[in-house]
Amino acid sequence: MSETAWNSGRSIWSDEAQERTLAVDRIEVAERVVPEHVAGLLGVEPIAKVWARKRRYVLDGRPVLLSTSYLPADLVAGSAITREDTGPGGIYARLAELGCKPVRFREEIRCRMPSAEESRQLDLSAGTPVVLIRRTAFAEGGRAVEVSEMTLDSTSYVLEYEFDA
């Protein structure tokens, strides 16, 4: 994650793609009741409303990632986050404008076989697993401001982490 990227008007994904061709070819933005497994991560009641942003990312003409971000409706209502085009810097830049800039992230990483729908959307060969990354973004003070569930074609990614001992 790079605050430098979203402050300069680039999305995190476009920054990571570097010189490759990255496109979001499907996007759906809607207000809905929070999924039960996301409610606890966001610290909201299971009947709370969230804005869900579903996207499919295509890299060099090949679908590689399905992503759904869930954001508390009380936080983002009326902001550009509720529109398909969030503007320069993506949702993290808009959260910063709302005074809820992400300052910490937590990720869970799991590998599993894809659902039939995920296989279809990612155009996966039979037997190809996916990687599920569930990322929670926290603002200053510890409030969870986004839960992002990313389903990755396992053959398209190398997950690399660096951290202090």
For 86-144, how does the pLDDT look when each residue is reduced to its tens digit (9 = 90+)?
999 999 999 999 999 999 999 999 999 999 999 999 999 999 999 999 999 999 999 99
What tokens were used for 112? 């599993």
pLDDT of residue 10: 45
- E strands in 34-101: 49-59, 62-72
Instruction: Name the pLDDT band for 3 (thresholds 50, 70, 90).
Output: low
Rounded Cα–Cα distance for residues 137 and 41 (Å): 10
pLDDT of residue 96: 96
What residues are paired with 148 via a beta bridge? 69, 135
Rounded Cα–Cα distance for residues 41 and 148 (Å): 10
CB 146 within 8 A of CB 165: no
**Structure confidence by residue, pLDDT tens digits, 11-49:** 445 445 567 888 999 999 999 999 999 999 999 999 999
pLDDT of residue 117: 97
Domains of the chain with CATH codes: 3-156 (3.40.1410.10)
pTM for the predicted model, two decimal places: 0.85
